[in-house]
Amino acid sequence: MQTKDLLDLANEFGNPLYVYDAEKIEFQYKRLTNAFSKVEKLRINYAMKALSNISVLKLLNNLGSGLDTVSIQEVQLGLHAGFTPDKIIFTPNGVSFEEIEEVAALGVQINIDNLSVLEHFGTKHPKVPVCIRINPHVMAGGNENISVGHIDSKFGISIYQIPHILRIVENTKMHINGIHMHTGSDILDIEVFLYAAEILFDAAKQFKDLDFLDFGSGFKVPYKKDDIETNIEELGKKLTKRFLAFEKEYGRELTLAFEPGKFLVSEAGYFLAKVNVIKQTTSTVFAGIDSGFNHLIRPMFYGSQHAIENISNPKGKERFYTVVGYICETDTFANNRRIAEIHEGDILCFKNAGAYCFSMASNYNSRFKPAEVLWKNGKGHLIREREKFEDLLQNQIMIEI
């Protein structure tokens, strides 16, 4: 997308505004499938918690993607967007047993990460195929807040508890058809990921009737200039070779599955916000925008860095700004960041706004959630209307006091 396109969209649809580039999503999807093109049965399950707009889901469904879900509501959205139950995997954590049963009744693949739940489900539904989520106790991510492979993680069944899993399987006669792992987001070192893969391969040998191995995702994307990213092409070569060898050792053809979220949609997203005020203090120049962490919480929640460009004055002389929001809390997007000179009324563009941005938005301070637009075939398509006052009142009941 060009800067002019983004400015035109801000003028047409208002701001703040989320924009997603369909071509970039398609490019990332094909990049991943090409990296593993030598695998006969490859399954990409998009982790929809990253961005769950039904038009984005439909786009990915048309590309041939499956869906990774973590709630019954995500499953229902996926079905609404056109995914068939056999293309959806349900990988919850800490949900009720009733929710797992409700999803299983829809024909969706169940993935269980708790010994007690596994035994309960196997006892009650022994004929329903189940995937097991293993915690390999390997941290492949670079941020402890988004790593889920450490030994104290609430996710997964410890690799050291395989004997317990086997006992449950033997006692219940349940069918284990998949093994799954996820080490965390922002994988920096491919060799660490491959090391964790070996642990999954070893675990898989304990189960004789598997249909697939799911290696999760967490592939890192660049958030700033010269940033490190996961080398998908190198990972594809190395893991493909090892996977094909394991298939021969295992004695049957298996599906290789991944669950990318951020990798597919992060770089496709742009968040546009208008500058309300420029405020000079004794030591800082603040650029206050018509948004806050109610719309984009990642910088405050994770310490994440999003590149910020002044698309109204892209060639202006750079100055240092602290970009803040209009929420009645500390809501800082960037501290002392070099940005082309900003004036009130300018439009700032936040890059990498496709993953975990709108999906984590709220109505804090009773602010409206932004609109969403999908840029496809050179045109912006409104895929979520901007909220109105009536939306804030929906489901509220004013009683007589």
The reply, when asked if residue 364 is annotated as ligand binding, is no
Residue 95, CA distances (Å) to 72, 100, 150, 176, 235 in order:
10, 7, 21, 20, 33
User: Residue 156: how many CA atoms within 13 Å on its side-chain side?
Assistant: 28
298 in a known ligand binding site: yes
Locate all alpha helices (DSSP H) within 259-366, ordered by sequence. 262-265, 298-302
Tally of CB atoms within 10 A around 281: 8
Element (H, E) at 131: strand 130-135
- Tell me if 218 is assigned to a ligand binding site: yes
> What three-state secondary structure class fits 98?
helix
Tokens of residue 214, six digits: 């799911």
Note whether 159 and 109 are within 8 A (CB): no
Backbone angles phi, psi at 211, to 5 degrees: -105, -25
Distance, CA of 180 to CA of 203 (rounded, Å): 10
**Phi–psi pair at 299, nearest 5 degrees:** -60, -40
Active-site hit among 131, 328, 349, 357 = 328
- The total of other beta-carbon atoms located within 10 Å of residue 152's CB is 6
Decide: 321 and 285 in contact? Cβ < 8 Å.
Answer: yes
Q: Is there a binding annotation on residue 269?
A: no
Q: DSSP secondary-structure letter at 36? A: T
Radius of gyration of the chain (CA): 23
Are 393 and 58 spatial neighbours (Cβ–Cβ below 8 Å)? no
Q: Write out the DSSP string of 144-212.
A: GGGB--STT-SSSEEGGGHHHHHHHHHHHT--EEEEEE--BSSB--HHHHHHHHHHHHHHHTT-SS--E
Of 65, 73, 25, 31, which is closest to residue 49 (Cα–Cα)?
73
Active site residue 349: no
Binding site for substrate, residues? 298, 302, 329, 356
The residues carrying an active-site annotation are 328
Binding site for pyridoxal 5'-phosphate, residues? 218, 356
Binding site, residues? 218, 298, 302, 329, 356
